[in-house]
Structure 1
């Protein structure tokens, strides 16, 4: 019999499982990078205790289309998810859900401060 067969999902094993702050931070940066359309290396993530839960603070740029593309195709902004404000608000929920789901940690909130913009150079629109 394999070990996996001997231990079912309802069995609790003695010991501790811990996720380091560094691992949580890497996870938070990856989730924020995906939600904001930037690289994880451009993001700063900090943690605080919020009444026994974790509060995540993100400082990051956000991706934006080239202004000439917006001038030529004003509705392109809608396809990105709206204004920078709308996208940051939506990113909070995405980041909170993704980090909670993947880490098993309970987050009370995610605060985002947009620190700049990364212009996304797209292909030519015909």
Structure 2
């Protein structure tokens, strides 16, 4: 006869839970890569203390459509989610939300520096 597992919801346990800097960095790189349509290994992430909260700084390329395709059809920019500026602003909010939701860490801000462009044929990369 098996006994049911104890209820976890609403119950507090003693001890500490810690998420390593390496785990947070991997999560931040994956969130940024997803938001900007690039490979996670192309993203650099750095953490700093911001009055007790974490500030995330990212250096990353961003995916863009081929320039020839944009010249023939300017609507391709919107198919990728807008201008580089618009996409970066949207990505900041998405990255902050994703990292906070998945890790429980409290971030004060996300700073993004675009370091280059990665050309992709398809539409918007999510």
TM-score in terms of structure 2 length: 0.92
Q: Residue 56 of structure 1 aligns to a residue in which SS?
A: strand
Q: Residue 97 of structure 1 aligns to a residue in which SS?
A: helix
2:26 is the counterpart of 1:26: yes
Larger deviation, residues 77-86 vs 38-47: 77-86
**Runs of 4+ displaced beyond 6 Å:** none
Give distance in 1, aligned partners of 2:122 and 2:46: 32
Deviation by residue 1:64-104 (Cα, 9 ceiling, x = unmatched): 00111111211110121211111111100000000000000
Measured after TM superposition, the shift of residue 116 of structure 1 is 0.3
Partner of 2:13: 13
Task: Identify unmatched segments of 5+ residues in structure 1.
Answer: none
Partner of 1:75: 75
Instruction: Provide the alpha-carbon RMSD of the alignment.
Output: 1.2
Partner of 1:35: 35
